[in-house]
Amino acid sequence: MERSWTYRVVIYLMLTVLAAIGLTPSLAGWFGQEDSLPPWFKKHVTRKILLGLDLQGGLHIVYKVDVDKAVSNKADRLASEVEERLKKDRKVSSVTVGRSGNDEITVQFREPAEAKKLDLNMMKTFRRDLFEDSRDADKGFVVLKVDSDQIDEMREYAVRQGVETIRNRVDKLAVAEPTIIRKGSDIIVELPGLKPEDFERVKKLIGQTAQLEFRIVDDGNEYMKKLSGVALTKKDAYPGLDVAHDGWTQKDTQAQHSDVYLKAKDRKVIEKFVAELEGENKVPPDHEIAFEEVADRDDFGAETQDKFWRTYYLHRRAELTGEYISDSDWNVDQQSFKPEVSLTFDRKGADLFEKVSGDNVGRKMAIILDQKITSAPVLEGKIGGGRARITLGGGSPEGMKQEAIDLVAVLRTGALPAPLTWKSENQVGPTLGRDAVDKAKFSMAVGSLAVILFMLLYYRLSGLIANIAMVLNILFLLAILAYLPGSAATLTLPGIAGVVLTVGMAVDANIIIYERIREELRAGKSARGAVEAGFGRAFWTVFDAHVTNLVAGIVLFSYGTGPIRGFAVTLIAGIICNLFTSVWVSRVMFDYMVGRKKAATLSI
């Protein structure tokens, strides 16, 4: 008995000391005494209770994932693969493969007789992704559709991968324990502790799709010459719209290249003009008009502060995408002294880049980031080594540097599989959090004091034991929140409500045990016998009640989000600590009285 009691006391004291040590940084931070802690202590004890969005302020954003865009991207990649197989393996002389709608691929053979080369043997390669929807052998026209199971899989993947990509980006922001969860096709992002001045930058970093594409510019095309004529006749209807020419000399052959493009200071003017084109003037389905914002130049060729938007006539299908990027970094261009982002492709990407650049020497390649052309350099030769670079637009040096750093961050974490659409936003200020914490502290103080007074008045010395167990319960509970990773134990406002609830629960089990001890004393048992019988017979009643509540807490934690999850965390931790302190810690103190002190009576 003596040895068992001593061992238990030593173990409980060690747990109490560990709990106090783990809780010290949090308490010091709450009361503004963090600087007073010894350096050696702060070095070895770093974990603190992390406060949720509702307690310390921050940003709450809800994004909707454009899952249809993910499907169309998949269709584009399949169209590219079909065209490559037809030309490379089936030796088709000329074929045009494009996407129609989100999930439909059209294949037009110049020689209708060659349509038979798109047969069942070739379609076996794509049997998991595509099926033939219709065929017109006389016109050499075949329609393929993306399998419905693949569409569902892509939609699911777009949301799931979107969550992971956002999480990787947020990790680079050094935000303490963010919350990123999905709800249907929505993604909910909570960033506690974020400063208001950082809101816009963080939203841009999270929402940037980072879909990088390399497309060949179809310069000198007759369509753009025709379109420029239409634009000149309708200039009055589109204020600011104009036509300009571009020319350059191919480096190795000295061949002359020329191009015509539309320009305007307001991009929306050109977009409106293109959108309202009708009939034969509409943009062909296998091409696309993209935009770049460029600086105007003076008579000496120097850049000015004035900027305008210009068009590029591109092939719709990308020759190369950012999915082949293995690394990225930023540096300063030694000629322009502007920040730029360098890219390194993986082996397959390097081979593709070398092939595309070799096949299109003398033409321009547009580098497109999130549907905006960042630059369109002339390919002066085959580019090996798998490296490319992105030049950034104008602005302040510090702003351009931050833009380069952010772009590297999103490229390293990968592109979002589909664009995000902002749905709602809630900016929580730190004042609300401080008020909530102050009120929560007051409610905890009042609730704890009421429980302490009741137990002392009703059970006297035994009530003191229950109060000690309650204090240890709260100590252990808060220590668990401090030791656990913040993703599992972030303290929220409902979580504080769970702590307050634990204060009441802390003495509930003691009351059940005490009433059982009273019955044993009235039955004529000694103090020691009543304690043993009371704890022994009440244990399973207390245990069953705690297990029932624990199951409810686990369900809330598993299926709840946000505030519900925060409440469940403290509820589960409180139940475990309560069972430990009310049964085992209280029993040690009673054993001390009736065993070592040999008390003949109990104040209960």
pLDDT tens, residue by residue, 497-529:
888 788 777 777 888 888 888 888 888 888 888
Residue 394 has pLDDT above 70, yes or no: no
The alpha carbon of residue 4 and the mean position of all alpha carbons in its chain are separated, in whole angstroms, by 52
Q: Does residue 413 fall inside a structural domain?
A: no
Determine the pLDDT at residue 142: 93
The set of long-range contacts for 286-290, using a CB threshold of 8 Å and a minimum separation of 24, is: 286/96, 286/98, 286/315, 286/316, 286/317, 287/218, 287/221, 287/223, 287/313, 287/314, 287/315, 287/316, 288/314, 288/315, 288/316, 289/313, 289/314, 290/215, 290/314, 290/366, 290/368, 290/371, 290/372, 290/373
Q: Tell how many helices (H) and how many strands (E) occur in the chain.
A: 17, 19
* Residues 23, 561: Cα–Cα separation, whole Å: 26
pLDDT of residue 193: 74
Q: Is the pLDDT of residue 337 over 80?
A: no
Least confident of 117-121, 305-309, 505-509: 505-509
Model pLDDT, residue 143: 92
**Structural domain containing residue 555:** 2-56+431-596
Burial class from Cβ neighbours inside 10 Å (0-12, 13-18, 19+) for residue 50 reads buried
Least confident window among 148-157, 301-310, 357-366, 517-526: 301-310
Q: Domain ends where: 344, 376, 394?
A: 394
Closest CA to 284 of 108, 418, 145, 130: 108
Same domain, 262 and 224: yes
Question: Do both 76 and 133 map to the same domain?
Answer: yes
Q: With respect to residue 15, please indicate whether it lies within any of the assigned structural domains.
A: yes
pLDDT at position 501 is 81
Higher pLDDT, 490 or 219: 219
Question: In the listed set 345, 378, 394, which residue is the last one of a domain according to the structure?
Answer: 394
State the pLDDT at residue 352. Answer: 85
- C-alpha span between 201 and 405 (Å, rounded): 12
Distances (CA, A) of 31 to 21, 39, 112, 494, 498: 16, 18, 81, 21, 22
Read off the pLDDT band of 157 (50, 70, 90).
confident
Mean pLDDT of 308-315: 91
Q: For the domain that residue 101 is a member of, what is the CATH number? A: 3.30.1360
- Give the global pTM: 0.57
Q: Is the pLDDT of residue 109 over 70?
A: yes
Q: Is the domain of 76 the same as that of 171?
A: no
Query: Is residue 409 a part of any domain in this protein?
Result: no
On whether the CB atoms of residues 224 and 102 are closer than 8 A, the answer is no
Mean pLDDT of 268-286: 90
Lowest mean pLDDT among 99-108, 138-147, 421-430, 584-593: 421-430
Quick check: 140 pLDDT over 80?
A: yes
Residue 430 confidence (pLDDT): 59
**Mean pLDDT, range 390-402, rounded to an integer:** 67
Which range is least confidently modeled, 221-225, 244-248, 301-305, 433-437? 433-437
pLDDT grade for 274, boundaries at 50, 70 and 90: very high
For 80-126, strand residue ranges (E) read 95-100, 104-109
Domain count along the chain = 4
Instruction: Examine the domain organization and report whether 453 and 584 are in the same domain.
Output: yes
pLDDT of residue 538: 85
Lowest mean pLDDT among 95-109, 203-217, 453-467: 203-217
Query: For residue 170, what is the domain's CATH number?
Result: 3.30.70.3400
Residue 562 clears pLDDT 70, i.e. is over it: no
Do 435 and 553 fall into the same domain? yes
pLDDT at residue 272 greater than cutoff 90: yes
Q: What is the mean pLDDT of residues 123-152?
A: 90
- Among the candidates 150, 168, 188, a domain finishes at 150
In a domain, 582, yes or no: yes
In a domain, 62, yes or no: no
Same domain, 130 and 15: no
Based on the fold, state whether residues 202 and 271 are members of the same structural domain: no
Confidence label for 592 from pLDDT (cuts 50, 70 and 90): confident
* Gap between the Cα atoms of 267 and 240, Å rounded: 10
Determine the Cα–Cα distance for residues 535 and 453; give it in Å rounded to an integer. 24
Mean pLDDT for all residues in the chain: 82
The reply to whether 335 and 191 lie within a common domain is: no
Percent over 70 (pLDDT), the chain: 91
Angle between helix axes 563-579 and 493-522 (nearest 10 degrees) is: 30
| Res 486: pLDDT | 57
Across the beta sheet with 256-264, the strand order is 242-249, 256-264, 303-315, 287-297
Q: Is the CB of residue 377 less than 8 Å from the CB of residue 248?
A: no
Asked if residue 182 and residue 295 are part of one domain, the reply reads no
> What pLDDT does 145 receive?
92
Query: What is the pLDDT confidence band of residue 1, given thresholds at 50, 70 and 90?
Result: low
What pLDDT is recorded for position 395? Answer: 58
> According to the model, what pLDDT value does residue 304 have?
74
Range of lowest pLDDT (78-92, 253-267, 334-348)? 334-348
Task: Quote the pLDDT of residue 436.
Answer: 65
Same-domain status, 277 and 377: yes
Note the pLDDT of residue 557: 84
How far apart (Å, rounded) are the C-alpha atoms in residues 540 and 587? 15
Q: Give me Rg for the CA atoms of the chain.
A: 35
**Does 583 fall in a domain?**
yes
Distance CA 132, CA 136 (A): 12
CATH assignment at residue 466: 1.20.1640.10
Does the pLDDT value for residue 344 go beyond 80? yes
Residue 404, in any domain of the structure: no
529 and 510 share one domain: yes
Summarize the confidence of residues 524-548 as an average pLDDT.
Answer: 85
Q: Are residues 310 and 452 in the same domain?
A: no
pLDDT of residue 312: 93
Over residues 256-270, the mean pLDDT reads 90
Q: pLDDT at position 424, please?
A: 85
In a domain, 125, yes or no: yes
